[in-house]
Every structure is written in C-alpha cells, then in structure tokens.
Structure 1
C-alpha cells in the first residue's frame, strides 16, 4: 500500500474517533487514460477537509463542493462515473477518452476503517470486502496477487505493507537509485557490510544494515511485493544475495554488470543448487536500454525496468539492455564495414 492511501486510512479512522462524518472515495474502474490507478483513495471530512487523491484535482474539487453544499446525505455506498462525455472529460481535466468509476462510501463503525488501518500498520496484507447494499465491511487475509474487484454488489480492495526494495551495495549508484526509489514509495533497505561505504551513507528514508547479503535476504522474508537489486560488482557480495533472493517470491531480482559478467554470474550461480527456472528469473544486465552512462541515468534505467515488471509490462527485446547492446553493436559493425568500402 502506498503512503498516500495509508494516510487516507489513518485520517479517516481519526476523524471518526473525533466524531466527524467522512466520505471514503475509491477508484474502482478506469477506461482509457486515467490520472490515478484502481485502488487509489480519497477521504473527505464533513467540513470539507480532504486527504488523498483520485484524479489530478478537479474531481476532488467537485466532490468537496458537493459535500459542502449538501453534506453527506447518503447512508450507503454508491458508484459514480466521471468523464463519460467529452464535456465531462474536459471539465474534470481527465485525459482524452478517460473515464473513471468511483465508489463513494459514507463511513460508519460498520466500515471497520480503524481495524483496517491497524492491520496495515501491523504489516498484514488484507482484503477488505464492502457490501454495497448495507455498507458493512470485513477484512480477511489476502494474496499479493489479488487486486481491486467491483461488481456493483460488493467492492474488494487489497491493503497491506508498502513494496520493499533491498539494494546490495552503498556506492554512488545506490545513492541515486535509492533517492528515486524512495520517491516511488518503496521501503528501501541498503545492505553493505563494508564500513567504508556505509559510514558515509546519508540518503533520507532508507535503512542501512551491515549484515552479510544472504543473511539479510533470509531475515527480510521477501515476498511478492519485494525487489532485490545487486549493485556492488563484487561477486562475494552480489552472488550471496542473488543465490537466496532467486529462491524467494520477490517480483524482481536483478544485478548490475556487463553482458560478459552477467553470463559468468549465471555460471557461478549454477553451483549454488539453483534450478534453471530460478536462474531465468534473474534480470541482468539490469535495466532498460536508454543509452545511460552516468550513475543517475543508470538508476533511471534500472528503476524503469523494475516498474515495468511490477506493473506486469513485458519489455520488448529492443529495450532489454543485453539484446539492445548486441543489436547496436551489430549495426555499428555493419556501418564500419560499409564505410571501409569507400576508404
């Protein structure tokens, strides 16, 4: 769960405890382009105070205006759509062709928001099922692969800990990568037993551990909401992390290095009793091909690939570093040979 939605739950629970009424707004379906994904949430207090986001701002303004004029009149959840017509899309600043469906839920004790917030804060991954007819909600354990499901009679949403990222190595590239990862709302842990690197680490919002990488992977109990990126260039550290991480359900495991180093790494990892299926999960050379050369550019390249994998986007070979560099090298060789004919 991203920090914005967590703040929505926290504020909603607090407002109810203080005696306020509140409306919880959840994005349940989108068509075409949409500024916020399914599952995004907004809470509006009875006096117009707001936390969270479901659009670029215009839908929020409309909801706040409606609430201030009429108060929270509804007694049970209802579904509404914005952006069905071109006029609405323009009015609410939705991208061309975009339509968004929201569930507006007046919160009560039966909503179980305080219990939901406590479960998320405790690190549990839970599913909340809302009965659209009664407004009663209950929570159960969930799988990381579950998502938002809405069928007019019930709304199922998944809530849980933020996505986690384990970065092996506290070097210069890691600094740039971790700064961006924090901005992407990952809970970032940096592992490096080398004191000369960790003593100077000062990236806000990250946690540094000095344990050995394999022990760190085991201690973190990685799940489907985790990514592991090895950046030290030192096989004694990177391989230790990879040999354990590839056995976990982590959605992304990658390592920095050239095509030749990546091939050598795969051969070494075979000695650690990894299966071909597990080895096939390794992303390397890590990142997408954008011609990156500097540490900040390489960090962008890596996190672009992590984001694509997280969102279920299949990268074409032309964007995969290894294939793209091979193709680029073949083109360069062809051009050189053609130019040689005219020399």
Structure 2
C-alpha cells in the first residue's frame, strides 16, 4: 500500500467536509483503502459527499463515484459504523466502472456528523502546518483517532481486520528561485503534478507583471524562506535566476535542508564554475553530490518550456516513492 501524501486535493476534500458539517449537513467520507492490479487512484485517496452540497475529491475515473452516490441517495448504506465496499471484483464490474484490466479497489465509507468536525479541523490544521500525523479508523465503531506521526508509527497505509491506519505526510512543495520564462512554465507544469509552488526573487522589476497562476510570489532573498519553509524531505529547491549571487545563495542554504531535490540551471561550463565557487565557499564534496546541475533530465531541451518539462520529469523521478 502507499502512504497518503495529501496535497491540495486532500485539503480541498477535508475543507469541504468541514464547511458542510459546520452548515449542519451530514457528510459521507470515502477513502481508498486497498487496490488490486491497476487502479485509477492510489490508496489514501479521499472523497467527500453531502446530499446538500455535492462532491469533493475522487476515487476513480467517475463511474465508482456515480454508483456510490446512487447507493447513498437510495439509502442502501448503513451509516451506523464504517463500511468496506469492493468495486470491480469481476470482469463485468471492471467494464462497468471502467477500471483498468484486472483492477479493482476497496473503499472505506464513513458517515460524519457534527461530532466529527473537530477531528476534521485538526487534520486540516496539521496539513497546513506540514505536521505529519496518523489517522486510525476502527472498522467496528464510529469516529477516528488522530496522533502525530512518530518514528515508530506505520509509514504506509495499513488495513487490518480491526483498523484502517493512514499516515499523512507533508504535501510536496517546490521553491523556484528566480522569476523568468522557465520559472513560469515550471510553475504551470508542477502544480497539476502535485506540487505547491512558490517563486521568490528579490528583484521587484522581475516580479512586476509576472504571471504564474496558482503559485505564491515572494519578493525576497531565498535564505530565510528556505530555512523556515522548505527544509523538509518533501521539498524541492531549484535555482533558475541565472544570477550567481542569487542562485549560489539558494544552493548554500539548500544544502542545510533535507530537500529531496536541489538543482540549478546552467550549461555544463556554467555548472562546473558554480561547483568551483561553492567549493570555495566551504561546500563539501558530499553536499555537492546532491546538486543537480545542469538541472533536469537530458532531453536536448532548448526552449523555456522544454527546460521546464525536463526539470519536472527529473523532480518526479527523484521524488520520494510512496510505496
């Protein structure tokens, strides 16, 4: 099974559930707890549904959701305690739900009421503060237990005869140092891939009129931003400024973090000079091994879009695996 790494989608689902519960509407929360063969959505994926407000999130390509909501509207599911539902356990259902060949999935369905609002709000608070935690749902009683994720906690989702246990890790985030065309394209590509994107540049003229929908823009030097917000293992830091003063500063601070990806844009010659400068500033050979420069996968990229695409592909290849 895969651990859940909530990003904007999961936060959207939980935020919607909290709003609907606050408005006095019961909410059904469905979680993918097991998959077999190929499946459209990984274990840990969430969906919330309210008869008054509709749906947030997804479990599959749409047909599973359609069937589930039809069952809920018809009152065919008991809301007294969590229910395990299996979809696609034969060829006919796989075709009906349009699941990939041989794939089927199991979901855990809970009916939430006003007593569950505090727990949903706690999950949202921890997600916002990038605090790892564990959600434990009893299969034989209503409610859930939330605890902070410890070193001895389960690191992957686990389904037993008694419980479903789901660890939540911080969402993946990307800090882009330097506002420019490559940064603009990378911001647009990285967000659908599950990254929250921040672009920082201390040069006000570079940010004036800069268009990067969905990304946070910060007029600042990267040092404080990196140490305070991009120091964990679910962060990536890329320097695209083409200004050694800005890019090198970002690299110096990035080496002191647990970021899973550190990269800087430039040719082979530029990258070799960068390594020489960083070595002269006291960066060790071990630290320099973490630096991807030239940045991205070698796909012969020339245009800003192609460079951004190569960077995203490398980010996805290096991103910590969820299995």
Q: TM-score when scaled to structure 2?
A: 0.87
Q: Does 1:232 align with 2:241?
A: yes
SS of match in other structure, 2:11? helix
Write the mapping of 1:136-215 to structure 2, written as runs, cut at 5 A: 136-142=143-149, 146-159=155-168, 162-215=171-224
Could you tell me which runs of 5 or more consecutive residues in structure 1 were left unpaired when the two chains were aligned: 314-343
RMSD across aligned C-alpha pairs, in angstroms? Answer: 2.5
Counting matched residue pairs gives: 313
Instruction: Work out whether residues 191 and 208 of structure 1, in 8 Å CA contact, stay in contact via their aligned partners in 2.
Output: yes
CA distance in 1 between counterparts of 2:201 and 2:59 reads 39
Q: 1:147 to 1:275 in 2, by over 3 A?
A: farther
Equivalences for 1:44-193 in 2 at 5 Å?
A: 44-46=49-51, 49-70=54-75, 72-108=77-113, 109=115, 112-142=119-149, 146-159=155-168, 162-193=171-202
Distance in 2, Cα, partners of 1:246 & 1:227: 11
Bigger helix fraction: 1
Deviating more after overlay: 147-156 vs 250-259: 147-156
Secondary structure of the residue aligned to 2:86 is strand
Question: How far does the alpha carbon of each residue in 1:19-67 deviate from its partner, in whole angstroms, 9 at most, with x for none?
Answer: 3322211112223322112211011224682211010000000101111
Match status 1:10 vs 2:19: no
SS in 2 for 1:70: coil
CA-to-partner distance for each residue in 1:203-253, whole Å, 9 max, x for gaps?
Answer: 222222232223332243521121101112222111110111122011211
Alignment pair present for 1:309 and 2:318: yes
Structure 1 or 2, whichever has the larger Rg, is 1
CA distance in 1, matches of 2:77, 2:26: 8
- 8 Å CA contact 1:48–1:68 kept in 2: the answer is no
Question: Greater relative contact order (Cα 8 A, min sep 6): structure 1 or 2?
Answer: 2
For structure 1, which segment, 304-313 or 253-262, has the greater mean C-alpha deviation from structure 2 after superposition? 304-313
Name the SS of the counterpart of 1:183 in structure 2: coil
Residue in structure 2 matching 1:246, options 217, 237, 255: 255
Q: Equivalents in 2 of 1:221, 1:259: separation in Å?
A: 27
Tell me the residue number matched to 2:3.
Answer: none
In 1: Cα distance, 2:269 partner to 2:158 partner: 45
Asked if 2 retains the 8 angstrom alpha-carbon contact of 1:13 and 1:117, the reply is: no
1:38 aligns with 2:25: no
**TM-score scaled by structure 1?**
0.82
Q: Partners of 2:293 and 2:26 in 1: how far apart?
A: 51
